[in-house]
């Protein structure tokens, strides 16, 4: 099979297009013939810095966590009926050498989630880590539901920071599907159009000197939940717009920045700060997210493309380096690598 691999950390020059034997699934695993691979920030970071800044966990790594494809073989203990099933794949490269930047990948059966018949492979490859992160953030509220679905967030005002980003777009779509009133912050009129296309009721320019007043005008009682990509940079705004019993759900790291906030104000208003790292979530939370996301996709509530607020950028397998560079440079939308039909 054709695959992109790297055997040392570094820039895009460590990536190689090679031929490798088709891998065989082990117990509890499935083999997926990958049609489209999805690229995330964690993919180029793992390539450049290794596992948590340390050495690679394997002599050779196939990158990328997300994808869409078809199960073509199963290991011991997996229902043979899964062969031929369309799936969306996520977390493929977490502590494993078989990512989705290859014609075939091997993943635990639970990480190959059945893809509804009405959902395309490109949408399936665009779900993965970003949608799971958004799902977890939306469930972080102090009085929030246990899972998402129509009406689950009815009466809740959600502020999504960075509404034109990958997680932001998923949070807008999932939040709107669940009945929340969603406000998104953006940095340009072009990004405002994308956030509105995703389903946001309102957008606010976070660079404005009146950002707090603008948000308060839309949510006079404050926002119940803030899905935050840059908690350190935005903490001042957060403390002014959160409602009593409000929650900040932060999924962005901002490098080595440290978060400080006025403790008295936070305590006095019973605020909650929830930090989200998809890979280290409990397995039960991951499975719940996969189920809810699949339901939303089947209902047409979480989609991809310009009309859904998530422009798609396509690259062939041999240009995986360009695809990762595009993500690293902050391209707006979802970057996909086409593997095969």
Each residue of 126-183: pLDDT tens digit? 999 999 999 999 999 998 999 999 999 999 999 999 999 999 999 999 999 999 999 9
pLDDT of residue 294: 98
In a domain, 316, yes or no: yes
Q: Cα separation of 250 and 230, whole Å?
A: 7
Contact between 160 and 191 under an 8 Å Cβ cutoff? The reply is: no
Angle between helices 189-198 and 166-177 (to 10 degrees): 40
Instruction: Please enumerate in sequence order all residues whose Cβ is within 8 A of that of 167, keeping only pairs 6 or more positions apart, or say none.
Output: 130, 133, 134, 137, 227, 229, 251
The residue segments making up the domain with residue 44 are: 2-126+310-338
Q: Which residues of the chain have pLDDT under 50?
A: none
* pLDDT, tens digit (0-9, with 9 covering 90-100), for 94-107: 999 999 999 999 99
pLDDT at res. 340: 77
User: What pLDDT is attached to residue 253?
Assistant: 80
Q: Is 286 contained in some domain?
A: no
Other residues' Cβ atoms within 10 Å of the Cβ of residue 314: 13
- Helical residues (DSSP H) of the chain, grouped into ranges: 41-49, 121-125, 128-138, 166-177, 189-198, 211-218, 231-241, 263-268, 283-298, 320-328
What is the per-residue pLDDT for 341?
A: 64
Question: Is residue 305 situated within a structural domain?
Answer: no
Please give the pLDDT value at position 254. 81
Q: Is residue 285 part of a domain?
A: no
> Domain check: are 88 and 178 in the same one?
no
Half-sphere exposure of 304 (CA within 13 A, CB side): 25
* Predicted structure pTM score: 0.96
137 and 265 part of one domain: yes
CB half-sphere exposure, 177, CA atoms < 13 A: 25
Write down the pLDDT at residue 50. 85
Tokens of 159: 């502020």
Per DSSP, 310 falls in state B
DSSP 76: T
Number of domains in the chain: 2
pLDDT at position 53: 67
Residue 68 sits in a domain whose CATH number is 3.90.180.10
Q: What pLDDT score was predicted for residue 256?
A: 80
Query: How many Å apart are CA 333 and CA 184, to the nearest integer?
Result: 16
Task: Answer yes or no: do 324 and 230 share one domain.
Answer: no
CA distance 134 to 260: 24
- Is residue 265 assigned to a domain? yes
Distances (CA, A) of 135 to 14, 48, 131, 277, 306: 33, 28, 6, 12, 21
Among 94, 170, 105, residue whose Cα is nearest residue 131 = 170
Phi, psi of 29 (to 5 degrees): -110, 160
Rounded alpha-carbon distances, angstroms, from residue 329 to 40, 325, 333, 335: 12, 6, 12, 12
Q: What span, in angstroms and rounded, lies between the C-alpha atoms of 29 and 37?
A: 19
Same-domain pairing of 68 and 27: yes
What integer pLDDT is reported at residue 307 of this predicted model? 96
Structure tokens at 35: 């049609």
């Amino acid at each position: 099979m054709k695959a992109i691999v790297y055997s040392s950390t570094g820039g895009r020059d460590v990536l190689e297009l090679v031929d490798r034997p088709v891998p065989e699934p082990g117990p509890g695993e499935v083999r997926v013939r990958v049609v489209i691979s999805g690229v995330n920030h964690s993919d180029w970071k793992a390539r450049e810095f290794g596992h948590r800044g340390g050495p690679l966990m394997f002599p050779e790594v196939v990158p990328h966590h997300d994808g869409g494809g078809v199960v073509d073989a199963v290991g011991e203990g997996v229902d043979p009926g899964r062969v031929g099933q369309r799936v969306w794949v996520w977390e493929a490269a977490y502590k494993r050498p078989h990512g989705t930047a290859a014609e075939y990948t091997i993943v635990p059966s639970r990480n190959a989630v059945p893809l509804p018949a009405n959902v395309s492979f490109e949408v399936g490859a665009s779900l993965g880590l970003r949608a799971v992160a958004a799902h977890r953030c939306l469930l972080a509220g102090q009085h929030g539901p246990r899972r998402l679905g129509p009406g689950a967030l009815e009466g809740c005002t959600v502020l999504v920071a960075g509404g034109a980003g990958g997680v932001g777009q998923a949070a807008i779509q999932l939040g709107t599907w669940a009945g929340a009133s969603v406000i998104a912050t953006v940095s340009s009129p072009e990004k405002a159009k994308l956030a509105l296309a995703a389903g946001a009721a309102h957008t606010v320019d976070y660079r404005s000197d009146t950002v707090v007043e603008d948000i308060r005008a839309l949510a006079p009682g404050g926002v119940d939940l803030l899905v935050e990509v840059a908690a350190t940079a935005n903490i001042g705004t957060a403390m002014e717009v959160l409602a009593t019993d409000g929650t900040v759900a932060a999924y962005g790291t901002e490098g080595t920045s440290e978060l400080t906030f006025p403790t008295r104000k936070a305590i006095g208003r019973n605020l909650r700060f929830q930090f989200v790292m998809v890979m280290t979530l409990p397995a039960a939370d991951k499975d719940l997210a996969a189920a809810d996301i699949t339901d939303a996709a089947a209902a047409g509530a979480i989609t991809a493309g310009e009309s859904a607020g998530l422009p798609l950028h396509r690259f062939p397998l041999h240009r995986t380096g360009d695809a990762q560079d595009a993500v690293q440079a902050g391209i707006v939308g979802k970057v996909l690598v086409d593997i095969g039909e």
